[in-house]
Structure 1
Amino acid sequence: MRHDFGLWAPEAERVELLLGARLEDAGRVEMALAEGGWWRAEADASAHDDRYAFSVDGGIAVPDPRSRHQPDGVHAPSRLVDSSTFAWSDAGWRGVPMERAAVYELHVGTFTAEGTFEAAATRLDHLVGLGITVVELMPVAAFPGRHGWGYDGVAPYAVHDAYGGPEGLARFVDAAHAAGLAVWLDVVYNHLGPSGNYLAQAGPYFTDRYHTPWGDAVNLDGPGSDEVRAYLLDNVEMWLTDYHLDGLRLDAVHALHDERAVHLLEELAALADDVAARTGIPRSLVAESDRNDPSTVARRGPGGAGGLGLHGQWVDDVHHALHVLLTGETAGYYADFAEPGAIGKVLGRTPFFHDGTFSTFRGRSHGAAVDLSVTEPWRFVASLQTHDQVGNRAVGDRVHHGIPAGRHAIGAALLLTAPWTPMLFMGEEWAASTPWQYFTDHEEEWLAQSIREGRRAEFAEHGWAADVPDPQDAGTVAASTLDWDEPGRSPHAQMLAFYSTLLRWRARTPPEARGTTGELTREDDGTGGEVIVVTRPGVVVLARLGGEGALELPRPEGELLAAFPPLSDDGDDTTTGPERSSLSPDSVVVLTR
């Protein structure tokens, strides 16, 4: 079958289409320059196993920037994919709106021992039983090697072959929809990885007018940027339509430098809204942003609030305040969150601790205030753990690895009763014993060694004495893979039951009944610990951090929902009548009203 091949290479003088997996004996077809800097050629690639690549001005063969599949790796030829042939069974799927989202972030490669979409799909019943409504996949765009986090992807349109490729992703989404789960995908538009990035050889995809932590910025507003923006917009369209995805998490949008009157993010949000209108299924774009800027999710256009119109954004301040409360760590960016009022602010009044306040870590004022009467609280995605906050620690230790189980439960209760949309990181719900570490699979030894040395130097600067795991060691991946025997045995089963109880309550309780604000009080318990009480219109959390011995406290009005440690069958706290509660150190009781 003949196919119309195209490559945008506006500065090229000659482009050849190469057909075949073996470049040394590939068939060559001269391409013709068409309108807008596009080069075109028709050819039949079926005799070459549908493999193809391009050569610009006689240079090395490069994969298609819009490749849907890189079965032989990111340095090899691309393979044609016909997405219309997949037999979807989700015609009755109606989606999950943002306000009903309870998100579960997972990494396909370490979620199961097999590390594939197919294996991950066998665990969807676990997520349904837990009370999750949205699965958020970490990046699946093709990246070097077999193992990696995915943030060094270099083929934004291609689905990583080791996970199961394009059909594997489609089957996973179809299975998730059948189970009643929406699927979001983490996408990276602010940079490409260092190995296998051939975009610059085709056209002006990058610019040195701006600098990012990864080098030159993506060209969103300079000469040639119309096609670069179209490249990203078409990518969003592909994920939402061809793969039936319900949403995208946009990585580090503060690194998308765009001085145009209409920001790329606004265009992406409009596109997602258009797809939702056409299909009748909600489509959510959620930004990771370092700006603490409420305009990210403020409504756009006439009658709006002059915002970008994205549907949600991550809020790290909630994580930071919870982390400091539970662990006592105050180094680096955690320093400001040691302020006694920090936890009350982010759980009671605003998702942004820095809402125009001075940040000692940045050495300047940061953020802007959120008006929750205008912007719905569920637009802010909050967490106790994320891939970043766990994996970017020297040994990938999870927050519950260094604190009592009851203290972990306190953090879960404070998060899951808050008005923000909650997000869990895989394994958090059963207090997984496995760490989650940084790992790569680069074939270039100079790059692998550079990453090893860079991480060791970074953590040495922070006084970390322990050995930093080698990212290139297969044992690092194995250590980071979840152990699915744990959820069924003690003590993991008790934590899983606690999380599930709170998530199921959240699912059956509308946002207005949970309350959009709350009051948090902290008092010394007289034994070296403290008592925390969070009161909202629909729920009360009574917790004790640390301390010694049992502590008798007045019980707030309400019906017992959950407790950790679990209450004994003959204890007074199993009923709603007693006027007092007995709290042991690092314990929590949740009541509904």
Structure 2
Amino acid sequence: MPFGAQVLEGGRVRFRLWAPAAERVDVSLQKAGGHTILLPMESREAGWYELTSDQATVNDLYRYRIDGFGEVPDPASRYNPQGVHGPSQVIEPGQFAWNDRSWRGRPWEEAIIYQLHVGAFTPQGSFAAVRERLDYLVELGVTAIQLLPVGAFAGAHNWGYDGVLPFAPAASYGHPDELKDLVQTAHHKGLMVLLDVACHYFGPEGNYLSGYAPTFFACRATDLAGRSIDLTLAVASEFFIHNALYWLEEFHLDGLRLNAALLQEHAGELDLLEALADAVREGPGKHRHCHLLLGHDQRAARYLHWHDHSAPRRYEAVWNDGAQQAMQELLTAAPAGAVDTARPLDQLGACLSRGFAGGGSDRLLPTAYVTFLQDYARIGDRARGERLHQLTSPRPLGATVATSLLAPMPPALFMGEEFAAAQPFLYFCDFNPELVKNIAINRRKSFAHLPGFRTTRTRARIPDPTEPATFQRCKLDWNSVSQSPHADWLDFHRRLLAVRRREICPRLTGMHEEAVGYALIDGRGLSIRWTLGDDSVLTLLANYSGVPLAGLQRPAGAVLWAEPGEADHALTQGRLLPWSVVWLLRVDV
């Protein structure tokens, strides 16, 4: 990296910092025994300070002293063992003994994603504890785990999007080598490891960089929400691209998901996404699969086109919030029974057939969209963090699960979804006392417009995100997995994913960017047909209402998935039972 502490050949350490507002910068080096050495850095052009020293060694702790008084951590720190307010540590990444050199990743068509928060996934909340659960994920049938951001943040727990040291894995999760061990163990088990990155944004606590490099950040401050970096600035865009390369190269990750906010700023920033993709393809992506994903935004389509199948797309896929919203709206209406579901059904049909509802994306591959029912934001943005199984009945939920997991789009699950975890996923953070009070107040005020939260008394029931107990409530209870109904939901997901891996994933390669049609059936049902890469035809017949749906025409193909009895009604009587989904596959020999 062109910044931070780099161990050079021969053991010397080079320190490099961009501090354009500083008159003087020293490296404050903590040596064994507790004594500190001050090493002056040389001022270079354009605000850079640099020092190469043989007095620093691997594992030494250090800070930068700005203008003779304030000591700050390295914004490009590889590790801050005492948290974001403490010193950084000199790390030699080459000391980790990788044994996954034969791993080349998996094709995107095989992706089945499991999104998880390291701190809440297990009681221990660590990289090592996630590694111990990998066999469970293999048995579930997923092929990729996607970690929420792990860059160091203030306090002991956070969603991860308030990071301020985006190169340093959070010390509360473990040492960088423990993350590397998690990744290579996952590779040995056939699992990809993806990561959400959010280095374009710094949280409200621990952002020391803004003090000596204020131009690094956009002029507009977002108060409690932190600050975004100015990606029109060359040094900031370089920081952003190197952060992506760092995770892919030093940690052997298989892909990254970038925030949709990068598509919502200035036109010049759109080119940054192209530059990042090109750097990945010419770097780690030259030798193995490195998948780049984007958050939901219709403007992402320009990065997903595959004009020539001999050249890879810049980005593999975008998360499709539209399909999630349509399915959630169907589920919300489910308790009412026979309701008019034509509008959300039309949106769902559009999302499953051409990606986004609306125009502009008809020529994209189905695999360019990640379909999901729940993720950290959809659950955590609810006042009480409820999961979908707590908001709807089992049969409607099962129908939407079967829809999302067997459609050609790569599916994603959020941790615990597969066994209907009783634990919520609430918004939580661990900031200093000055921030805590305002965050709790603002959180509760944000729900004041909703029924049930319009009085101070009712809003007081919303869990305080700054209370340690709020975070503890979100930790999954793994003892419940073997008990009903959790074991039943787990078996349901395992059976669906086994069908996907066996019958659908192998047929996705070679699909074309062509328009896919869908048909609404009496305003309550949906029929879609996809031609897969081997010219087989996958058909969805579904009834998303509480009353039977009659008058169906039997499509060609063998039944790929249906709950007991549902296929017989659909294929012999032309009727779909309430909340039933039938998948068929026609293979021409």
For normalisation by structure 2, the TM-score amounts to 0.85
Structure 1 residues 45 and 129: CA distance shift in structure 2, 3 A: farther
> How far does residue 262 in structure 1 lie from its aligned partner after superposition?
7.2
Distance in 2 between the 1:297 and 1:150 partners? 27
Residues 492 and 590 of structure 1, relative CA distance in 2, 3 Å threshold:
farther
Which residue does 2:8 correspond to in 1?
none
Whether the aligned pair in 2 keeps the contact of 1:292 and 1:354 (CA below 8 Å) is no
Closer, same or farther in 2 for the Cα pair 1:534/1:497, shift >3 Å? farther
TM alignment of 1:461-472, pairs within 5 A: 461-465=449-453, 467-472=461-466
Per-residue deviation at 1:582? 7.4
Aligned counterparts, 1:82-481, within 5 A: 82-204=92-214, 206-208=216-218, 214=225, 217-221=228-232, 225-254=233-262, 257-260=265-268, 263-278=271-286, 280-298=287-305, 309-328=314-333, 338=343, 340-348=345-353, 350-355=354-359, 369-372=360-363, 375-442=364-431, 444-465=432-453, 467-481=461-475
Q: Which deviates more from structure 2 when the two are superposed, residues 31-40 or residues 253-262? A: 253-262
Give the distance between the partners of 2:572 and 2:124, measured in 1 at CA: 51
Q: What is the CA–CA distance in structure 1 between the aligned matches of 2:31 and 2:163, rounded to whole Å?
A: 21
Aligned match of 1:523: 522
Cα separation, 2, equivalents of 1:215 and 1:161 = 21
Q: Secondary structure at the match of 1:263?
A: helix
* Cα distance in 1 for residues equivalent to 2:345 and 2:551: 24
Residues 410 and 87 from structure 1, CA distance in 2 versus in 1: closer, same or farther, beyond 3 angstroms?
Answer: same
Aligned residue pairs total 553
1:519, distance to aligned residue in structure 2 (A): 2.4
- 1:184 is paired with a residue whose SS is strand
Assess, with a 3 A threshold, how the Cα gap between structure 1 residues 293 and 90 changes in structure 2: closer, same or farther: closer
1:586 and 2:579 aligned: yes
Cα shift at 1:370: 0.9
Tell me by how many angstroms 1:416 deviates. 2.0
| SS of residue paired to 1:229 | helix
The 3-state SS of whatever aligns with 1:461 is: coil
Q: SS in structure 1 opposite 2:411?
A: strand
What is the alpha-carbon distance in structure 2 between the residues aligned to residue 438 and residue 262 of structure 1? 30
In structure 2, give the amino acid aligned to 1:491. P
CA–CA separation in structure 1 for the residues paired with 2:269 and 2:552: 57
1:416, 1:422 within 8 Å by CA — same for their partners in 2? yes
Task: Tell me if structure 2 keeps the 8 A contact 1:498–1:563.
Answer: no
Q: Is the 8 A contact 2:292 2:315 kept in 1?
A: yes
Q: Which residue of 1 aligns with 2:560?
A: 561
CA distance in structure 1 between the partners assigned to 2:578 and 2:305 by the alignment? 42
2:5 paired residue number = none
Q: Aligned AA for 1:457?
A: K
2:492 partner letter: F
Point out the more displaced range, 62-71 or 425-434.
425-434
1:535 to 1:406, Cα distance in 2 relative to 1, 3 A: farther
Query: In 1, Cα distance between the equivalents of 2:527 and 2:179?
Result: 44
1:183 corresponds to which letter in structure 2?
V
The alpha carbon displacement at 1:434 in A equals 1.6
CA-CA distance at 1:299 after TM superposition: 5.6
Aligned partners of 2:271, 2:312: CA distance in 1, in Å?
10
Bigger Cα displacement from structure 2, 211-220 vs 88-97: 211-220
Farther off after superposition, 546-555 or 171-180: 546-555
- Residue 233 of structure 1 and its aligned partner are, at CA, apart by 1.6
Map Cα deviations across residues 358-384 of structure 1 (whole Å, 9 max, x no partner).
Answer: xxxxxxxxxxx1132xx3221222211
Q: How far off is 1:520 after superposition? A: 3.9
Match of 2:7 in 1: none
Distance 1:498 1:582, change over 3 A: farther
The one of 484, 500, 509 aligned to 1:490: 484
What is the CA–CA distance in structure 1 between the aligned matches of 2:569 and 2:544, rounded to whole Å? 23
**Aligned-pair distance for 1:228?**
1.7
Q: Is the 8 A contact 2:327 2:344 kept in 1?
A: no
Partner of 2:23: 13
Contact 2:326-2:344 at 8 Å conserved across structures: no
When residues 49 and 337 of structure 1 are mapped into structure 2, their CA distance, relative to the original with a 3 A threshold, is farther
TM alignment of 1:532-543, pairs within 5 A: 532-537=526-531, 538-543=537-542
- Partner of 1:73 in structure 2? 83
CA distance in 1, matches of 2:241, 2:76: 12
Shift of 1:555: 6.1
Query: 1:215-270 CA deviation, whole Å, 9 max, x = no partner?
Result: 6541222xxx2222221222112111111011111123336645449711111101
1:423 partner amino acid: A
Q: What is the rounded CA distance, in whole Å, between the counterparts of 2:104 and 2:163 in structure 1?
A: 31
- Alpha-carbon contact 2:13-2:56 (below 8 Å) kept: no
Mark the runs of 5 or more structure 2 residues left unpaired by the alignment: 1-10, 335-340, 532-536
The 3 A distance-change label for structure 1 pair 536 and 499 is farther
Per the alignment, do residues 108 and 45 of structure 1 end up closer, same or farther by CA in structure 2, a change over 3 Å counting? farther
Assess if the C-alpha contact under 8 Å between 2:418 and 2:489 holds in 1.
yes
Residues 126 and 580 (structure 1), Cα distance of their counterparts in 2 relative to 1, 3 Å cut? farther
Specify the SS of the correspondent of 2:22.
coil
Q: Which amino acid aligns with 1:251?
A: N
The 1:405/1:58 distance shift into structure 2, 3 A limit, reads: same
Amino acid of the residue matched to residue 16 of structure 1? D
Distance in 1, Cα, partners of 2:342 & 2:265: 29
Pair 1:124–1:215, CA change in 2 (3 A): closer
- The amino acid of 1:386's aligned partner reads D
CA gap of 1:212–1:447, structure 2 versus 1, over 3 A, is closer
Matches within 5 A, 1:504-523: 504-508=498-502, 509=504, 510-511=507-508, 517-523=516-522
Change (3 A) 1:535 1:416: same
For the residue of structure 2 that corresponds to 1:145, the secondary structure is: coil
Contact 1:103 1:134 in 2 (8 A): yes
Q: For 1:448-500, what per-residue CA distance to the aligned partner results, in whole angstroms no more than 9, with x for missing partners?
A: 11111111000112234352111122221222111223333322233222322
Percent of aligned positions that are identical: 35
1:352 Cα deviation from its structure 2 partner: 1.1
Would you say the 8 A contact 1:289–1:313 is kept in 2? yes
Instruction: Give ranges in structure 1 of 5+ residues lacking alignment.
Output: 330-335, 356-368, 525-529
Would you say the 8 A contact 2:155–2:430 is kept in 1? yes
| Residue of structure 2 in register with 1:60 after alignment | 70
Check conservation: 1:206, 1:216, Cα contact below 8 A: no
Matched residue SS, 1:163: coil
* Root mean square deviation of aligned Cα: 3.3
Report how far residue 284 of structure 1 moved.
1.2
Preserved contact between residue 204 and residue 219 of structure 1 (Cα < 8 Å): no
**Secondary structure in structure 2 of the residue aligned to 1:154:** strand
Normalising by structure 1, report the TM-score: 0.84
SS of structure 1 residue aligned to 2:202: coil
Residue matched to 1:364: none
